[in-house]
Each structure stands twice: as C-alpha cells, then as structure tokens.
Amino acid sequence: MSAPTTNQKLLDWVAEIAEMTTPDQIVWCDGSKEEYDRLMAEMVESGAAIKLNEEKRPNSYAFNSDPSDVARVENRTYIASVKEEDAGPTNNWIDPEELKETMRGLYKGCMKGRTMYIIPFSMGPVGSTIAKNAIEITDSAYVVTNMHIMTRVTPEVLRLIEKEDFFIPCLHSVGAPLEEGQKDVRWPCAPIEKKYIAHFPEENLIWSFGSGYGGNALLGKKCLALRIASAMAGREGWMAEHMLILRFTNPEGKQFHIAAAFPSACGKTNLAMLQSTVPGWKVETIGDDIAWMKPGEDGRLYAINPEAGFFGVAPGTSEASNPMALAACSKDTIFTNVVVTEDNDVWWEDMGYDCPGGGGTDWKNNPWKQADGEKGAHPNSRFTAAAANCPVVCPDWEDPAGVPIDIFVFGGKRTSVMPLVHEAFDFEQGVYMGATASSEPTAAALDLGNVSLRFDPFAMTPFIGYHAGDYMQHWFDMGEKLGDKAPRVFYVNWFQKDGKKFLWPGFGDNSRVLKWMCDRVEGKVEARETPIGLMPIDGDLTLDGLDIPAEDWEKLMKVDNEAFLNTVEDAKAYLAKFGDKLPAKMNEQLKKLEARLKA
C-alpha cells in the first residue's frame, strides 16, 4: 500500500528503518477494529494467541511469552544522553553514538521474514495541548494489538504530524529474523544479552530491541510516557509523572482531583478504582498509572492520563481487592502469562477462588493442575484492558483540557514510624516528602543489602529520563510557577502493623483519608501541627463503622521523633548520591525537619 502521509520527515524515517531492517512487507496501521480482528485471527492461526471463551470472555485472547521475556529489564535499559552526567546516578548510561552503532548492527536485517508495522499513535486525547503524537515501528503483531488498547491509534495522528511536522519516533523489533521456510516460534525474542531498551533524550528517540514484553515493547508506556516525556517536561515546563489520577466527588457534587504516586506493591491501581465507604462520596478513575500535567490559563495544574488502557498485574486482582479492574477485563482484553482454564477462560493466583476444573494450561503453555502446588500464572502476568470498559471510569477522563489537580499524594510501605496521613506545611516541604518517599525492603529485594529503607523518589526511580537531582529541582521550579495555585501535598501509609495485624483496614476505607484531605483543601477542618507536618485532629477523620481500638488509632497517628530522626539519617545517606545536583532546597528541608524533630 502507498504511504498514507505526506510528511517527508516521517517518510524518510520509515524508508531508513526499512532499509536497515529489511522486512518482507510494510503495513501502515489505522487502529480500526478490522485491523485488530485480522491480526488476532492471524496470531490464533499461527498458535501465538489463544482465543478465549466468547460467552465468558468476549473478544479476548491469551498469550504466553518466552520464559526469558517476562518483565521490564532495568539492567538492559539505558538513558543515552550526550553527557554521562545528565543521566545521573539512577540510570544506566552508554555513549549514544556507541550504543547506536551496537544497535544498528543488531537491527541490520532483523525484520527479515516479518512484517514491519507502522503505528501512528497519540499519548493522550487526540489533539489535546497536553498530548504528544508518536510513531512506533515494530515487527510484532502482539505489540500492534496491545497498542490499539493502550494508546489512541488513528490516522488522525498522521494529519497532526503533517500539520506540526513533529512526532516522537519509536523503533522496536523482537530481534528474531526468519530465514526462508523457517517456522516461527510462539513468542519470538532475542537472548537477554542482546536486549536493549534505549532512550536518547536530546532527540526524543526510543530504540528497543530483543524483547516483545510490556514496557520493553509497548513503547508508548514507560519509555515514552515517563522516560522521554519527563526529559521533555523538564525542558518545556510541564510534568510527566508515575501517578494515578482520580476524581472524588462529595455529596453536594463538588469535585476534587487527586494525583498519587506510590512505589510498586503499595496499592496504586486499587486506589485509582476505589470503592468509597464514605456515605455520599464517589470515586471515579481517570488513570491508574501515569499523569501528564501542564499549567492552564487560570494558573492551575491540569492533568491528562496519556494512556487509553490499563496494563495491570493480574495476580492478586480479585473481587475483594479490585472489582473494578476485574470488571474492566471482562471483555475486549489481552491476557499475557495467565492460566487458561479447561473451558478457555483465564485464572491466576489470589483471584479469590480456586481454578475452575482444577487446572488448565499454565503461563509456560504446559498442562497444569492447581493441586500440584506450582504457580500457574507468572507473578508479573498482565491484562491489557480498555479504560473505557472500567465501570467507574470518569466521564471526563478523555477531556483534552485535562482536569485541575487539587491534591498530590505520596506514600510507601512502612510497618512502623510513618503515620497514616500527614500534610505538608507548604509545597516545598511536599517536594521533600515526595523526593524521600520510601518503603521497607521486602524479601524480593535481596540486592539491597543491609538497608533499613528503599527510597523511590516520586515512585519514579526507574523512569526519570535525566538526572534525578535536576528532576527534583524541576518539581521546586513548578511549585514556584504555580505559586498559591499549587496542589496541596499529603503523605500516606496504609501499612502500619502491630505484629502481623494491619492497624488500618485499607482498600475502600482509604476513602476516609481522602475525605479528610478534601476537607482540608476546602478549609472545613483545622489540623494539628507536628514536627513532620499537619495531622488530623481527633474526630475530623471519620471512623464511623470501623472497629479500631483507641490504642491502634494512637499508633496510627503517632509521631516518634527519635524514630523519625533515624529516617532523616537514612534520607541524608540516600540523597548524598546526587552530589552537587541535589537542589539546595532539599538540604534546607532536611535541616528544617531535623530542627523540628530535635526541638
């Protein structure tokens, strides 16, 4: 087919990549249902995809990846800035010219025997002033179909590229050329030592090779939406953050918009789709993972969800933990590395019930029985589901203007020390709170050695596309720009324990904490001053209907100055790695906090 665009820059780039990768054919994608159905039918025919039970799971499919290709590969992910110092201590750096030379060698002929798909997509509602237009070139039909769900794939993007003469180029290959007559495997990919996920921030360029999985291959996700976008945002004066966005509406109809950042395994998706237990208050989901935010004409910060779908972790998603996520993947969904049951439905561990029929096919595509004790779904197995299919998706989730953010929330997983909730005295202290967000290491983090806390600034550690010290400074700069219209900042910890018992019920009852935040924004309640920030006055955070003993509530709200001083020492040790790039205001906040704790 002839190219459906007149943009010479795009045509030249496509020709250059085609000459390097030598595909058998080139297809320009249009994002249509016909295209999706055709590609899925081809993958079912080849054995790459399993068509699920149409009555139980309409228009849904399951895939099993190669065991070597099951998650993001951070140690093969690079920020190839021109200067090494611009990548900073949180990123892997390689000289961009050296990396390009290596990857060009891998790309040479890598699409032989395959189809090269050209995907025009928008991150954010098409035409939004906060959105960005991009092109992904890939040789994976699995990537195309996932991008259909996760982004807006449409020829309208080509029209915008022609008008603006700008797009973000994203190149991907599974790195598995086929010789003539060679039969393809179910999940083509390259060995781990040949996998590269490379970002060139000065060129807004992404090159990915060797992996077909998730954020390694769906280049609109972490690669563009966070790593490249954060670098663009730093230059252009906006924000690209690893944050959920939700709307919380009170009984009178007043809307509050909350953006929240948590490290992994701290309940971000659950909070995004919360079922409120506060009478008359309603939560609606705008996004569960990423927020792009830009100051509006009124000086407030407006946010869009740049994605169009959820790429959710399946294990642990259940009717009890997140019924709305489960409902979102009841149809039109792609499942990767879950169990396919005997009646061609899906199942995973901690789904809330035993596997129907007692078994099926596991994520390695082998016969499996639950009674044998081996896990059937990979711990990082996923569902790709359309946000539009979530029952609590906000009616304005695709508003191109975005929604005005009232509140930022940070948090981590701490079994002690950190209270249930506290509010920053001002935005600058809020930046400090976000920059020192931390969790206690789990058994899964054995590489951390003997540390008491794992710091994850703004939940962005693997996703900051430039020096993390400059990124922290950008937060302070945005605060200055927004002035008194900056969102209020809060820190939460749902995870305090007494022995093995959680002190706070969590899940839907977290809405009680959100209500207190909204009451604070409206000026309906005062707060008590503590060394770490502003905290609820007893009675202002509603506990009606909860059975929380007085001594547990006291522990949830306690500020232990000595314990917090230890946390300050941990923070100092962590922040030292940023050297002279650490913003002066971070040191000021450290000193102020230390002085208040010692007073």
pLDDT tens digits along 565-585? 999 999 999 999 999 999 999
How high is the pLDDT of residue 550?
A: 95
Domains of the chain are: 8-48+79-237 (3.40.449.10), 241-308+396-598 (3.90.228.20), 310-389 (2.170.8.10)
Please give the average per-residue pLDDT across 135-162, as a whole number.
98
Q: Give the span between the Cα atoms of 527 and 512, in whole angstroms.
A: 16
Q: What is the CA radius of gyration of the chain?
A: 24
- H-only helix segments in 319-426: 323-328
Tell me the pLDDT tens digit for each residue of 100-115: 999 999 999 999 999 9
How high is the pLDDT of residue 449?
A: 44
301: left (phi over 0), alpha (psi -120 to 50) or beta: beta
DSSP, res 581: G
Q: Is the pLDDT of residue 442 over 90?
A: no
How high is the pLDDT of residue 266?
A: 86
Burial classification of residue 508, based on how many CB atoms lie within 10 Å of its CB (0-12 exposed, 13-18 middle, 19 or more buried): middle
Torsion angle defined by CA atoms of residues 35, 64, 52 and 221, in that order, rounded to the nearest 10 degrees: -50
How high is the pLDDT of residue 1?
A: 67
Q: Please state, in angstroms and as integers, the Cα–Cα distance from residue 561 to each residue in 401, 538, 565, 567, 572, following that order.
A: 44, 20, 6, 10, 16
DSSP string, 110-173: TTTTSEEEEEEEEESSTT-TT-EEEEEEES-HHHHHHHHHHSEE-THHHHHHHHH---EEEEEE
Sign of CA dihedral 93, 96, 101, 103: positive
How high is the pLDDT of residue 452?
A: 73
Within 13 Å, how many C-alpha atoms sit on residue 347's CB side?
23
Q: Is the pLDDT of residue 446 over 90?
A: no
How high is the pLDDT of residue 265?
A: 77
How high is the pLDDT of residue 263?
A: 87
Answer yes or no: are the C-beta atoms of 256 and 521 closer than 8 Å.
yes
Tell me the pLDDT tens digit for each residue of 483-515: 999 999 999 999 999 999 999 999 999 999 999
Please give the average per-residue pLDDT across 344-358, as a whole number.
97
Burial classification of residue 1, based on how many CB atoms lie within 10 Å of its CB (0-12 exposed, 13-18 middle, 19 or more buried): exposed
* Count of other CB atoms within 10 angstroms of residue 100: 17
Q: Which residues carry out catalysis?
A: 266
Answer yes or no: are the C-beta atoms of 282 and 276 closer than 8 Å.
yes
User: Mean pLDDT for the chain?
Assistant: 96
How high is the pLDDT of residue 176?
A: 98
How high is the pLDDT of residue 15?
A: 98
Token digits of residue 334: 């792609």
Q: Is the pLDDT of residue 267 over 90?
A: no
How high is the pLDDT of residue 441?
A: 74
DSSP, res 572: H
Q: Is the pLDDT of residue 523 over 50?
A: yes
Q: Please state, in angstroms and as integers, the Cα–Cα distance from residue 489 to each residue in 206, 428, 517, following that order.
A: 33, 9, 9
How high is the pLDDT of residue 469?
A: 98
How high is the pLDDT of residue 467?
A: 98
Q: Is the pLDDT of residue 181 over 70?
A: yes
Tell me the pLDDT tens digit for each residue of 290-328: 999 999 999 999 999 999 999 999 999 999 999 999 999
Helix (H, G, I), strand (E, B) or coil at 540: coil
